[in-house]
Amino acid sequence: MWMGDRGTRVMRHRPTVAVVDLGAIRHNVRTLKPRGSEVMAVVKANGYGHGSVQVARAAQSAGAQWLGVALVEEGVDLRDAGLAGPILVLTEFPPGSEKEALAAGLTPSLYTDEGLDRLTEAAGALGRRVGVHVKVDTGMHRVGIDPARLVPFVSRLLEAGLELEGLWTHFAKSEEMADPFTWWQLQRFTRAMADLRGAGVIPRYRHAANSAAIMSQPQAHLDLVRLGIAMYGLCPSHDLAEAARRLRPALSWKSAVTMVKRVDAGEAISYGLTYTVQRASTIATVPVGYADGYSRLLGGKAEVLIGGRRYPVAGTVTMDQFMVDCGDERVAPGDEVVLIGGQGDEQITADDVAGWMGTINYEVVCGLSERVPREYVG
């Protein structure tokens, strides 16, 4: 039994846990905070799997002035947990959520006429003057207003009684250092800012830089930077590996062996019998599966650490368990198994796991399910 993040009693019998080092979060915020720019700690998706409330508190204590979320629900959860300070919702409020979002003190992003109309009505009903951040689409083409429509859109926003607090955009390829597209996007954003300035409108906050741009594009730092994956100590791309050496990964994922058996040469392991042992081997069972976020894609590809040594995952990862081929090594029930993190002189990183899965480290940590308890240190 242990105490949860809000002091509630949580029963835990399975030896599987994700350990989050909040000292690493604080270190990464302080390390990456640009001189002259405020920091927004992006804690969407449950803090990229690390725990949004705990990470937000750590980031604020290290100097982050803003918090960023993707959903109104995420912002409301932060308020319910007692988090103060500005919280930007990075997409428009969904229809019908505007009053609840404004009542919680969440800052809206705007980029459509429909969103503007709904927000104006909600602000009027609450009798509030609302500051908004308008998102400009400079080339990623996910969400955002076309730069050609920016000035009339902002004029309409001001006429409706709203306040333009911020103007922002998002980079599509800032992780790729040699690609000029980020420079092109920044130039397009600069022209949009100049157009607004020509119309007599100057927002308090201009922001464009995500983690990769914070680490590599100082000209994009502007008034505010949005610190996401790098706050968790994970590198945005191979191109930035050298710059990421200053960071400390915050999350480790551990379990323990629950069963050991000796299997004869020629026997096959797990669903589908896709993994055949070539010689008599010790097979260890680990109580983690794809329901915990340890993907089926890892079967027959991944490695884990036991006793400071790497061992291969044997066969298909099942919903609740997977098996490890330990060869002739002595392994016993209760031995610690490291899925992400260090043990002895060995280390398995989220990037290692991502490579085995054919994806990115973001997906690995965001994919940890709620049934994996988070414990906090630091």
Catalogue the active-site residues.
44, 271
Buried b vs exposed e over 298-316: b needs ≥16 C-beta within 10 Å? bbbebbbbbbebebbbbbb
Query: Left, alpha or beta for 12 (phi > 0: left; psi -120 to 50: alpha)?
Result: beta
d(CA 159, CA 50): 41
Count Cβ atoms within 10 A of the Cβ of residue 330 and give its class: 0-12 exposed, 13-18 middle, 19 or more buried.
exposed
Q: Residue 311 in contact with residue 362, Cβ under 8 Å?
A: no
| Maximum separation of any 2 CA atoms in the chain, in Å | 79
Tell me which residue of 151, 233, 219, 145 sits closest to 182, measured CA to CA. 219
Rounded to an integer, what is the distance from CA 48 to the centroid of its chain?
Answer: 3
> Do strands 9-10 and 17-21 pair parallel, antiparallel, or not at all (unpaired)?
unpaired
d(CA 295, CA 36): 41
Query: Which amino acid, residue 3?
Result: M
Query: Left, alpha or beta for 244 (phi > 0: left; psi -120 to 50: alpha)?
Result: alpha
DSSP β-bridge partners for residue 106: 87
Rounded to an integer, what is the distance from CA 238 to the centroid of its chain?
Answer: 18
